[in-house]
Structure 1
Amino acid sequence: MPVPVQRDPERTRRAIAAWLTARTPGSGPVDVGPVRVPGGAGFSGEILLCDATRPDGAVEPLAVRVAPTGHRVLPGDNWADQVRLHGILTGTPVRVAPLLGHEPDPAVLGAPFLVMRRVEGRVPADLPSYHREGWLAELPPDRRRAVWLGGVEALAAIHRLDPFATGLGFLDRPGPHGGGLAGRLADDAARLPFYGAEHNAVATAALARLRSRLPEESGPPRLLWGDARIGNIVYAGESPAAVLDWEMAGIGAPEADLAWFLHLDRHLSEGIGAPRLPGLPDRAETVAYYEELTGHRVGNLEYYELYAAFRFCVLTARVTRLLTRTGILPPALDFPLHRNATRLLSEILASRTAP
């Protein structure tokens, strides 16, 4: 579901129009149409969609991404890193929405924001799951296959970049408990109260397992998309036109992204009791195609899939807390998103292939 509207739409429309007018050469104001939020999106960031009419009559579709304030799913503030990352990725083989401007002053919209040219296309929805209904479910199996493989190609393009040669080394910052996977897991343990997952027995058991069975990380670290999934890709037909949402970006083992890509799809099918769409390549074919595209031999994938399931479980606990805080959910409601994520994590922990 999208982040709920946190501002007055008309006041927001006027503020964006004034901001664009001040930055548009030539005479005459920029007119901005109604502001709306996209349907079927996630809960990690506030996106505003609108159309701007320039003084010469040209109409430009826009997407405005606002830095999270009240609805902060992740701890810390990495907004400046996201802005810098987006600018660096422009012009690389990684397709991102063209960046038109950035406003660091929170006085305009209540928080800093990015203005991007909206990339037209379709995004597989989270709610309702694309496995149950929507444009992907309506495609024939061979075209669904093309959509999925296009997502793998987008992920591979990210991982083929050398993050340090590309100027992305600033993302390789150790957390409070040091660098590497051990440090990240220690950070995760300290942040369980922030997410509201400190009393989730399944999550704490998974974290203990992860900390006790650290794998050796082979190969050079790569740029991590973070929220790697087909639901964060704008498709033109069956081909990726833009990769969205870099809030969870970092530097690390590429298996972390690939595992997240696989797990989020598993959550949206098996995790919610929906059959997986026919035509979508399975785990083995996905991994083989990824290896072919990147030349990287995937290792310790089961470990990173458990880590993905753990991370998603605690993130859904945080989303539940935010929905309760805003009054969207009644207090103490057993929210299906978190319940399903916890159940799937439990099943992965108990499986014979779990690390």
Structure 2
Amino acid sequence: MPPSTGFSAENLVVDATWTGPGGPARRRLVVRVAPTTYQLHPRPRFWQQYHVQRLLGERTDVPVAPALGFEPDPEVLGAPFCVLGHVAGVVPADLPSYHREGWLHDAPAPMRAAVWRHAVDVLARIHRVNLPPLDLGPSEPAAQVEELAADLDFYGCATDPHIRAGIGALRATVPAQAGPPVLLWGDARLGNIVFDGASVAAVLDWETAGLGAPEADLAWFLHLDRHLSEGIGADRLPGLPDRAATVAHWARRAGRVPHALDFHRVLAAVRFAAVTARVTALLTGHRLVPADFPLHRNATRLLATTLKEVGT
């Protein structure tokens, strides 16, 4: 399982050795340490993400890294941490985008298509799991919009005109719930999947797991791929199914007719623009990237495009 490609936690890959009842043992592990300096989200749910991952590994067929232990005491490593089993494989990179280089870029078109289909398959599988009640925040669309609106000061973008327009559009188009809420991955994207060939070996990063309409995950998955291609001025890889084909494939696997997908497209675009505002502030504030780092600018431009497309 490669180190995290995100900003939400520190992953330490270690080779652990010990002596047990059967003699000397060795295993590669991932120690995931809760964020301290770079807190990306306003309500870190470090225990909840570990708990969700453990339940998925124990009770479902969703492939995740084995959840081996959780330590809440910050005295040990400076912050709470969890220990996960290492999963071998490859992950499509966000930076540089897999649309520009890397193993997926270099793969033949049929393999790219298979990678994409398997990712959508596992997304639909997540939406069908049956877990015990979980406290993962609001599940109703209206409450999710208001929570996001309340968090904009934390993300540092409360006055951004594109984001304000997006919040207004969401408030004006809140859909009725089309069924009970399901488990949401929260950060559904190729960059959070370990692949063994074209097959999914593990689904990573449950920090923003929640409950709600499954279309929220589907819209985020599509939006993040669009950001990493059109959003940054890159050509989308040939062989990857387009939006219509992806939605149709997910619907078949999930056994559900997509509901209010335009609303969730806007929700994904607003959420992503808010997160990029925070990421950009953290990176530029610590001089890790140049002051003109384009991440947030690209995200708000794609948000504006999305608002035009859905007619809001």
- 1:192 has 2:152 as partner: yes
* TM-superposed deviation, 1:83: 2.1
- 1:334 has 2:292 as partner: yes
Aligned to 1:278: 238
Aligned to 2:110: 142
Cα distance between partner residues in 2 of 1:284 and 1:144: 17
Aligned to 2:7: 43
Aligned to 2:74: 106
Cα distance between partner residues in 2 of 1:135 and 1:54: 35
- CA shift in 2, pair 1:173/1:350, >3 Å: closer
**Paired residues of 1:125 and 1:231 also in contact (CA < 8 A):** yes
Aligned to 1:54: 18
* TM-superposed deviation, 1:345: 0.7
Cα distance between partner residues in 2 of 1:283 and 1:232: 19
Aligned to 1:203: 163
Aligned to 2:225: 265
Cα distance between partner residues in 2 of 1:241 and 1:130: 18
Q: Give 1:61's aligned amino acid.
A: R
Aligned to 1:64: 31
TM norm structure 2: 0.94
Number of equivalenced pairs: 308
Deviations 1:286-325 (A, max 9, x none): 1111111111111111110111011000000000111133
Instruction: Name which of 80, 93, 98 aligns with 2:47.
Output: 80
Identity of aligned residues (%): 54
Cα distance between partner residues in 2 of 1:78 and 1:265: 25
Q: Give 1:181's aligned amino acid.
A: P
Cα distance between partner residues in 1 of 2:69 and 2:136: 25
- Unaligned 5+ runs, structure 2: none
Cα distance between partner residues in 1 of 2:293 and 2:311: 26
CA RMSD of the aligned region, Å? 1.7
Aligned to 1:218: 178
Deviations 1:132-179 (A, max 9, x none): 0000011000000000001001101100113xxx21x223544xxxx6
- Greater relative contact order (Cα 8 A, min sep 6): structure 1 or 2? 2
Instruction: Name which of 73, 87, 97 aligns with 1:129.
Output: 97
Deviations 1:44-64 (A, max 9, x none): 222111222334554311111
**Paired residues of 1:61 and 1:118 also in contact (CA < 8 A):** yes
- Unaligned 5+ runs, structure 1: 1-36
**Paired residues of 2:48 and 2:136 also in contact (CA < 8 A):** no
Cα distance between partner residues in 2 of 1:57 and 1:219: 51
Deviations 1:96-150 (A, max 9, x none): 1012221111111111111111100000000000000000011000000000001
